[in-house]
Homo-oligomer: A and B are copies of this chain.
Amino acid sequence: MDYIFKSNERSSKILDFHHPHQLKEGLEGFSLDLPDHPEPLEQILVDCRDTLKYGVKTGHPRFFNQLSSGLDLVGLAGQWLTSTANTNMFTYEVSPVFLLMEEVLLKKMQSIVGWCEEEGDGIFCPGGAVSNLYSLLVARYDFYPEVKTKGMCALPRLALFTSEHSHYSVRKAAAVLGMGSDSVQVVPCDERYPSPEGLFGLVPFYVNATAGTTVYGAFDPLTAIADVCDRHKLWLHVDAAWGGGLLMSRRHQGKLQGIERASSVTWNPHKLMGAPLQCSAILIKKRVTECMLRQCNQLCAEYLFQSDKHYDISYDTGDKTIQCGRHVDVFKLWLMWKAKGSEGFGSQVNKCLENAEYLFKQLQRRADFKLVFESKPEHSNVCFWYLPPSLRGLPPGPDTNRRLHEVAPQIKAKMMEEGTTLIGYQPLGSNVNFFRCVFSNPATQHEDVDFLLEEIARLGSNL
């Protein structure tokens, strides 16, 4: 507890950077080597302290580097209890309470998405990338159930659509599932989803729309895309891994209008809702009463899923998954929900978006920064360039761009050495390296936003 409060104080460093070779060589008695004989307890405690010391404080209010940040104390208590219970989610036999909590959470999330009670199915997964993989897996099975036994060879060549700025896990899933990444048709973001007729020899079946893109925080037009999907009978998946949290806020939920028409939804409470890692759900709409997820994945291994048990075995949900053992990711979220209520999540989300607006306004005002988009952010992502003195006032063009491209990595390198704040950068399309600030830690205040800009300006002042 003491550690948690201290390390997340503003005056503490976020990281004490060392290069891999430095850490590997061993620092002041901190050796990574694995011994043959036991080490004394005092050494174990020192090892723990050093592990935290050389790690990154993702709960620090000035950590802006990832979509997951913050350290919710109730969520943390939930994790600790989960670890203490140390059980597996495959059967009701060994996880009665956690499996029911999963059901309650999935139903709640489905009702928030706008599905009616009977429609919902789903499962918690080890991350949003795996949730997206499930959606593609179940969609494929829905169109071609023979794929489970006969494989892709028995199917026509499939095509799926996703927008330019969607998460790379959709392409990865296509590769893993044996469809091949070439089956993914990338739709440029300024076009509407095109009609699928243009694809010679390929059979389109699936569209991934993103609600809250990873870098820009943009929302694909869900209603328009749902119309296209209806017309062509395509499976609509909405990747709301990052944007799903907005559904908790009355003020912002309208940005996901149309999500209720999706056949599947990815929603990561471990991002905007601040649940500790990992916590991600795939929600799947049932057709009539069929549980696609179960049919798609079940193999009925008798050593786990005996049919002659004395309780209602529909709660043995392990056979719906592509895993066998499955970590308990639900309890922390359930406990946070009890402690905050839906409205508590709502205000937390509002706070994050309010911080983004504050940053946006500060950037509008300053001449040493330039926004990537002039319009108000839709989510908590704010993208911008820092213009060091030497680049200010230069005419736009390839040469300026080439130089601007090198600014963010240089500042980031210095930032990691100093460890006072942390923010990510990347190029995207024709935009050279720019910073992406994201807010998901409700502990972050305006002063932290101010600090971030001052720190970037300080570190970049001589570039």
Contact = CB atoms under 8 A, between A and B. Distances in A.
Contacts of A52: 81, 84-85
A334 B34 contact: yes
Interface stretch (A310-318, A351-359, A448-456): A310-318
A281 B90 CA distance: 20
A335 B43 CA distance: 10
Interface string A83-116: 1111110001111111011001100100000000
- Interface size class for chain A? 35 or more
A297 interface: yes
A339 interface: yes
A32 B308 contact: no
Contact of A20 (B37, B311, B413): B311
Interface in A66-95: 66, 68, 71, 74, 76-77, 79-81, 83-88, 92-95
B84 A127 contact: no
Nearest to A300: B168
Copies per complex?
Answer: 2
B54 A341 contact: no
A59 B88 CA distance: 12
Nearest to A65: B94
A365 interface: no
Contact of A327 (B47, B148, B278, B436): B278
B339 A56 contact: no
A199 interface: no
Contacts of A153: 152-153, 157, 180
Residue from A88, A324, A340, A436 having most chain B Cβ neighbours under 10 A: A324
B94 A83 contact: no
Contacts of A303: 214-215, 424, 426, 428, 436
B325 A128 contact: yes
Interface string A400-414: 000000100100110
Contacts of A179: 151-152, 178
Interface of A: 3-4, 15, 17-21, 23-24, 32-39, 41, 43-44, 47-48, 51-52, 54-56, 58-59, 65-66, 68, 71, 74, 76-77, 79-81, 83-88, 92-98, 100-101, 104-105, 108, 126-130, 133, 137, 147-154, 157, 167-169, 171-183, 214-215, 270, 276-278, 297, 299, 301-303, 306, 308-312, 315, 322-327, 331, 334-335, 337-344, 406, 409, 412-413, 416, 422, 424-428, 433, 436
Given A58-B86, A153-B157, A302-B428, 19 more contacts: A23-B100, A35-B338, A35-B342, A39-B341, A44-B339, A47-B335, A52-B85, A55-B87, A55-B96, A55-B98, A79-B80, A126-B326, A130-B322, A151-B157, A151-B178, A151-B182, A152-B153, A171-B299, A277-B327
19 contacts: A15-B96, A24-B100, A32-B100, A34-B105, A34-B338, A35-B341, A39-B341, A52-B85, A55-B95, A56-B93, A58-B85, A71-B84, A71-B86, A147-B175, A149-B180, A172-B297, A177-B177, A277-B327, A306-B425
